Amino acid sequence: MLIPEVRQKWANPINTITIGATPEEGGTRTRTVTVGGSTTLPFLHFEGKIPHRPALAMEVQDITPKDWPEILGEHFSDVWDDPGRWAKKCVDQLGADLVCLRLAGCDPDGENKSPDEAAVAVKSVLEAVGVPLIVWGCGDNDKDNEVLPQCSEISAGERSLFGSITEDNYKTLVALCKADGHKLIAESPVDINIAKQVNVLATDLGLDPKDIVIYPTSGALGYGMEYVYSIMERGRIAGLDGDTMWAMPILCDIGKEVWKVKEAVSDEIAEWGDQSQRGPLWEATTAYVYLLAGADILIMRHPKAVSEVKKYLEKLIESK
């Protein structure tokens, strides 16, 4: 007796979002990146459509990182004094789909760079590469509200992805992105209800839900990743099941989380094996897991990890 094939039918597709705008669309990008649109859970090709593959962004900073280990820094130390050159290397040599410019230098507890300096960094990256841009503030709410307006204005029309809004800090960035035509990253602290609430607050101010990417926080392998996975999976199921406040593509900030844990950065414990292999593997493995949870955009750092994840993605896409 043949057992009939069981297929889940979902009520709602995940929103489709295009980042970047070509000259015909009012921007200067040579190509755009589209994510989302799935009508099924990750890579279940037999059950529904997955029209757009996940995209890989590589991180660039507006300052020379002081906390990156040597096995990471050796790949970028020749360019990381210049965000434009750094971005160009990530795209031309390492195959990044997008560039994520993190404005770490604007942190008031660090170099406290000005809004003008931040805007210069954004402009230099836009001029150096043709891929879409993610612009991420320093994480200090007050300073981001000073810095991001100029960054948004100087990139108006480019349809960049700006981050991030939170439950306590969303009004300024929502207004900017509505005015300048950008997309937004909605951040929440690994809580499915708060993630939904951030989206509700943004849309109540008139932001289109299709302009939002969800960032539910990203733990590294061995550091709460399984809990983040469960939140992402529950959220994706809710979105497919008809909850419009969870029907957004998901972003995971992989590199930032991985390259601060001892298993990736320590070179002092021989039993853990060669750090030059272990570190990139830790980042790649973290990325693999989040892809299976539903991530649509991954922000990464190590070239070897990016290369391996690209190969993994090809196998997942070809499996349909």
Task: State what percent of residues in the chain have pLDDT above 70.
Answer: 98
Share of the chain above pLDDT 90, in %: 90
pLDDT band for position 109 (cuts 50, 70, 90): very high
- CA-CA distance, 97 to 130, in Å (whole number)? 10
Q: What pLDDT sits at residue 184?
A: 98
* Stated pTM of the model: 0.96
What are the pLDDT digits (tens) for 248-267?
999 999 999 999 999 999 88
Average of per-residue pLDDT across 309-319: 89
Q: Rounded mean pLDDT of 177-203? A: 96
Residue 17, classified by CB atoms within 10 Å of its CB into exposed (0-12), middle (13-18) or buried (19+), is buried
> What does the pLDDT read at residue 78?
96
Size of the chain, expressed as the number of residues it contains: 320
pLDDT at 223 (0 to 100) = 87
For 304, how many CA atoms within 13 A lie in the half-sphere containing its CB? 15
Please classify residue 318 by burial: count the beta carbons closer than 10 Å to its beta carbon, then call 0-12 exposed, 13-18 middle and 19+ buried.
exposed
Token duo for residue 295: 């991530």
Give the model confidence (pLDDT) of 268-311 as tens digits.
888 888 899 999 999 999 999 999 999 999 999 999 999 999 99
Look-up: residue for tokens 């705008």? 21
Label residue 214 exposed, middle or buried (CB < 10 Å: 0-12, 13-18, 19+): buried
pLDDT at 230 over 90: yes
Q: Are 39 and 237 in contact (CB under 8 A)?
A: no
pLDDT at 5: 64
| pLDDT greater than 70 at residue 8 | yes
Report, as an integer, the average pLDDT of 14-18. Answer: 98
Query: Does residue 318 register a pLDDT over 90?
Result: no
Q: For residue 69, is pLDDT > 80? A: yes
**Quick one: pLDDT at residue 235?**
95
Report pLDDT for 156: 97
Residue 127: pLDDT band (50, 70, 90) is very high
Q: How far apart are CA 183 and CA 212, in angstroms?
A: 6
Q: What domains are defined for the chain?
A: 30-318 (3.20.20.20)
